[in-house]
Structure 1
Amino acid sequence: MGLSTGAVPARVDAPVKKALLDLVDDAVGAGFSLRQACTWLRIPHTRVLGWQAKAAAGDSLQDRPSGPAEAAHGLLDWEREAIIDLARDWEQVDLTHRKLAHRGSRLEAVYVSESSVLRVLEAAGMRLPGLPRPEPRSRRAFPDWAELTPGVIYCYDFTHFSGLPGWCAIAVIDVVSRYCLSLRLCAEETSTQVEAAFIEALSTDGKAWLLEDEAFAAELAAGHVPDPDLGAVLGQEVDADPEGLGLPPEATVPVLLAVSDNGPQMTSSNTAKFMAAARIGQHFGRPGTPNDQAWIESFFGHLKTENPHLEELTDPGALAAELENRKEHYNTIRLHEGIGYVTPEDEHYGRGEAIRQARKKGLARAHQNRVATRRAARQNRTTPTTMDAD
């Protein structure tokens, strides 16, 4: 009751108040003043006087609940009913409580917040249909001919920098080795930039011969890209020479696979024709699923996170030069966790496995050396010398 543990708490139950009043009455009956009794009980005398007044009036000593019985701005009964009626009439049209709240305002039936609509419907046990969810789409596997070795599967995409609105950068990386084959700053985002990036990537990867077909070069110079209507770019089995053009069988077999999202630059007919002419198959991820292009998304994420100054550059020339520097650093110096902490250049040109194995052997040698050193030290401390033996 607060008699032995310090002052009486600010709020106590009715039985505690009654017991305290009895103690005060006993003290007053014994000749002590009310103030003196309250001092001993460590309770303000004004509280006791208030309790005595309530008891004399026949009121309960129990504290009233704090605050009003209901919020002043709480919904009225007719508003709750209007929300329920609105849901019955419009649930199949509006589907969600958010739209339903605005429907009520539009019809001038009830003006309430979206969360109020949700709480009223939940209290009434009503559940709106909600927006339909699209059927999940399984990820499409790479074609069988696309081997998981460096130099076979490329991934590419565009990104933007806040310091240069309207400009963008396109990158092409190797999916297996993470080697950045092309990183270009562009003033626009079209199929032309895709072609330029892949021409650079093929040259960097030693596959420029895919672009050296004389007929293809002539059509490119004239501004025309040959029609890729051979079907093999999708990994399908087709007649090697469907129109009797004298094409060798290898002319219809894709050499590389280009992985991308479904952006208009990637799905345009010009890009498709260029890829087909260069014997590059196209593989598109699921719409709205950037994880299907995780390799290029990770590349851009590391590029911007580790080099925040790129977002602050406002001069196209400075940004283009810095992107080239960052590309060189990424390929030749930065250790990549996803490929076993070697550089993408090491992995792309076949040195990665030897470096990883060398580290494993070095760790084993270091372990053996530490064990041998400590064993020798213990033996030196415990073995008696010749003088000690004498």
Structure 2
Amino acid sequence: MQCAGCSGKTYPGTLRVKAMGFSCYTKKGQISCNGSPCQSQKTGQKAADYTRRTISKSIQRTQRNQRRSCGCRARAIIVKKKDELNLKGPLIGHFKLKVKKAVVTIINNAISQGLTQKQSCEIFGIIPRKFRRWLDPKPVRTRTAWNKILEHERNAIEDSAWEPELIGKPVSHIFVHGHDSGKFFASFSTVYRTLKAKNMVEPKKHWHRKTPYISAHSLLDEGFSLLCYDGSQFRTDSGIILWAIPVMILPQRYLLHIGHSLNGVSSGDLTQSVKEAYALIPEHLTTKVIAHSDRGSAMKASSTKRVIKELLGAPVHYGRPHTPDDQAWIEAFIKTLKYHRDAPQSFKLVDDILQWLKRIPDIYNNDPHSSLSYVTPLQALSGQKEVILNQRKQNLAEARMLRYTAWKANHSIMLPAASEVVTHSN
């Protein structure tokens, strides 16, 4: 039975719908069998592609921002870690194994946070090839020296150390015993290392000072005066040696006396020179005087220390060990004594040396001294140093004001008058 208004004729579109199903169209803009418009397959595919492309771009942008923030964070961490290792600039040269491991760890952490190996190495300042070499170092091949001591020689050294006549003796005795007896032939350092490896060498005991060392500068800062002395030799043309023993007081740098002796400086010669110099010290300086010298044999003699302590009422202050030119005030004067502009080039007789030793105190004490701000030692000893320096300072200030006044007068003459400036402007 057919519907009203519908003929029994079969249309091609109806057959196509039955065969292909609903919502399946082959042409753009084709409508469905019920008359409602529908998109074509190609238009729907474009819409799906657009949606997919929009989502993928936003995800890519988010991932890019995340990588960028991670990269900035990794860069900051690399710079901070490099500063903690006290590494500056590019890594050039050799480094300790501990530093190499730390660098490898830092760069690996940066790579795990998104940076490439090349970027991490550029930020840290290391060549990528060097980083890869530190990351995977070559195994160290153990090498044996061709002249390494043999086992029977090592046993001979140990057996010799246990011999009754060598027990408790220095290592040098064992070394000599091996060469004399022919049991072993090794160097002293080899014998020492062999015995030390077996804990057969007694460790050397180092003496430590119980009280801290007080320098001579500290004594001067506390208001003490130092009596310095030393010996230096002069030689005549015929080869006779005469020793000069100068004695100086600090901080005035005043040369008190120069003693002398033939063929050497004994304790008696030294104490005699100190006594003669002490008699020339002004009375106001004798209350706080301390003797200062190096650690020469005559200076450290018990008789010298006893006499000077009785004379000054204080023990002798010595310089630091093994530093004879430490705080070398007296050594600087000895150089002046030998190479002064008025010093003779040579001495024919001993009497010529004695004549020069008598002349030099007056010359030296009246010469301006650089360490005294170019005041003579005699002026410093008499207490005129501060007065002279203040007067010089005042003279310089007055001269400066005179120069400024002269400059100001010349400058005002060179400038045009105010009336001339107004006339030219009109």
Report the TM-score, using the length of structure 2 for normalisation: 0.45
Q: Which has the higher contact order (CA 8 A, sep 6+)?
A: 1
Greater Rg over alpha carbons, structure = 2
Report the TM-score, using the length of structure 1 for normalisation: 0.49
